[in-house]
Amino acid sequence: TWGLVREELVKRVGRNNYVTWIEPLALRDLNGGVARFEVPTSFFGDWVSRNFADHILSHMNTSGFAVDRVEFAVGQSSRIPRPAEKPAQPVQAPKPAPRAAAKSRADSEELPGAPLDQRFTFDSFVVGKPNELAHAAARRVAEGGPVSFNPLFLYGGVGLGKTHLMHAIAHELQTRQPHLRVLYLSAEQFMYRFVQALRERQVMDFKEIFRSVDVLMVDDVQFIAGKDSTQEEFFHTFNALVDQNKQIVISADRAPGEIKDLEDRIKSRLQCGLVVDLHPTDYELRLGILQQKVELYRAQYKGLVIADGVLEFLAHRITTNVRVLEGALTRLFAFASLVGREISLELAQDCLADILRASDRKLTIEEIQRKVAEHYNIRLSDMIGPKRVRNIARPRQIAMYLAKQLTPRSLPEIGRRFGGRDHTTIMHGVRKIEELMATDSQMSDDLQMLRRQLQG
């Protein structure tokens, strides 16, 4: 299918280009040697056709599609990926020739891992407050010393750098200790390898390979939730490696305890090591990431000028997802160089209108909790914790109130994000603040300010 062919294009065009230009393409029609793709805007179609049509064409042909020509037309359904949306993960058949993540042994034996993105290194990872713990833990694992926590469990929302950090660990380990057998793959790939092994009656081989690695990294482990035999196998693999004192690194989009349909024994195993979360980015981190990217682009787009304030504007406005932030910058540079103009604020607003619009709506409960905690100088963990003293309970209620006001979440959903509180507790909190606002002018000033800050 196109989905599979498309993924292979990552290697040709690079990940950034892939995410920005290839992923949003929707194959609409393949007829008479013409492949028709739907694109979100005409500029987009223009750009893809200038820069990637040849790649797409030749790659489709080598993948068994008979195509002479590719066309791009503006359509409804394809669009720029939105922040906080899971990237589409088409169900894929097992790849026939898995590439090894680690070519560590001289012989031809290959580990069934996923290829590593060369750009996901520690050098290119910008550290800020929201990710400093995760980064430090990843660094520790990458030093390859004695195992000090097992597993390292990294979690956080989409596009916050989990995969980047895992690849960075793998790169670093391979540089420092080339003999190490480092296996990185997604939980989805783990499942497909396992299913394939079952089908081909090679389960013993499967077990042997997975239990003989020195470092196992499984990305997006939430994927195996609800997949019973895969969970089972994962559990045994996990235990076998821990018993041998081999390092395991796991990522997920949420904390172990929060993953639905994951067996309890696996949850508790995952909690045994070090669990760290990547928090949503803050303004400084986003600006740092943009500045770093601009440095990289300078070589590619010589002479392009960025007006003052553009990066600040983007860091301010595109708040949820680093991938979208990067995509925005990529598009901006491409567009500016296409039309030969300086990157001004107006150009950014025009060229990124869709992204900016999509970004506007996103405000997470966690951001609200963080902001309110900061404002009242309490710990974020107290927002979800059980303490009932007034100077903690009140800010917590304020955060509940703002969550109700500023996000589309229901009371039970909000309750869940406040440490599993009941929806009636949330309702009570919201009412309390409404009452106070009517009588307490300090409170209503505070709220107004918080709301302004949160909505930017």
**How crowded is residue 254: how many other Cβ atoms within 10 Å of its Cβ?**
13
Given candidates 9, 22, 141, 160, which one binds ligand ADP under the rule CB under 6 A? 160
Question: Is 161 a known ligand-binding residue?
Answer: yes
Q: What is the DSSP letter of 22?
A: I
Query: Is residue 280 a contact residue for ligand ADP (CB under 6 A)?
Result: no
Give 131 or 319: the residue with its C-beta nearer to ligand ADP.
131
Q: How far is the CB of 187 from ligand ADP (least distance, A)?
A: 12
Q: Which stretch binds ligand ADP (CB under 6 A): 100-108, 118-126, 336-344, 441-449?
A: 118-126
Beta strands in 111-266 (DSSP E): 152-156, 182-186, 215-219, 247-252
Report d(CA 118, CA 92) in Å as an integer.
Answer: 23
With b meaning 16 or more CB within 10 Å and e meaning fewer, what string describes 270-300?
beebbbbbbbbbbeebbbbbbeebbeebeee
Strand partners, 182: 215
| Residue span 164-203 as binding mask against ligand ADP, x where in contact by CB under 6 A, dash where not | x---------------------------------------
Q: Residue of minimal CB distance from ligand ADP?
A: 161
Give 37 or 190: the residue with its C-beta nearer to ligand ADP.
190
| Residue span 374-403 as binding mask against ligand ADP, x where in contact by CB under 6 A, dash where not | ------------------------------
Query: Is residue 120 a contact residue for ligand ADP (CB under 6 A)?
Result: yes
Give 289 or 310: the residue with its C-beta nearer to ligand ADP.
289
Report d(CA 249, CA 220) in Å as an integer.
Answer: 11
Give 278 or 351: the residue with its C-beta nearer to Mg ion.
278
SS3 70: strand
Give 59 or 162: the residue with its C-beta nearer to ligand ADP.
162
- What strands lie across the sheet with 247-252, from one edge to the other? 182-186, 215-219, 247-252, 152-156, 274-278
Q: How far is the CB of 248 from Mg ion (least distance, A)?
A: 17
Half-sphere exposure of 398 (CA within 13 A, CB side): 28
Q: How far is the CB of 78 from Mg ion (least distance, A)?
A: 22
Q: Residue of minimal CB distance from Mg ion?
A: 163
What does the block give as tokens for 256? 């172990």
Report d(CA 35, CA 57) in Å as an integer.
Answer: 9
176: nearest Cα among 144, 136, 215, 138: 144
Contact 325, 280 (CB under 8 A): no
- What strands lie across the sheet with 26-31, from one edge to the other? 26-31, 34-39, 69-74
Query: Is residue 162 a contact residue for ligand ADP (CB under 6 A)?
Result: yes
Contact 287, 318 (CB under 8 A): no
Given candidates 163, 189, 222, 247, which one binds Mg ion under the rule CB under 5 A? 163
Report d(CA 441, CA 456) in Å as an integer.
Answer: 22
Residue with tokens 């997470």: 364
Q: How far is the CB of 330 from ligand ADP (least distance, A)?
A: 10
Q: How far is the CB of 218 from Mg ion (least distance, A)?
A: 11
Residue 193 site contact among Mg ion, ligand ADP, none (CB < 5 to 8 Å, cut-off depends on kind):
none
Report d(CA 218, CA 159) in Å as an integer.
Answer: 16
Give 133 or 393: the residue with its C-beta nearer to ligand ADP.
133
Give 171 or 404: the residue with its C-beta nearer to Mg ion.
171
Q: Which stretch binds ligand ADP (CB under 6 A): 145-153, 262-270, 321-329, 349-357?
A: 321-329
How big is the site for ligand ADP, counted in residues (CB under 6 A)?
Answer: 17
Given candidates 101, 126, 250, 378, which one binds ligand ADP under the rule CB under 6 A? 126
312: nearest Cα among 337, 338, 345, 279: 345
Q: Of 222-241, which residues contact ligand ADP (CB under 6 A)?
A: none
Q: What is the DSSP letter of 280?
A: P
Q: How far is the CB of 163 from ligand ADP (least distance, A)?
A: 3
Which residues form the interface with ligand ADP (CB under 6 A)?
A: 120, 124-126, 131, 156, 158-164, 289, 322-323, 326
Which residues form the interface with Mg ion (CB under 5 A)?
A: 162-163
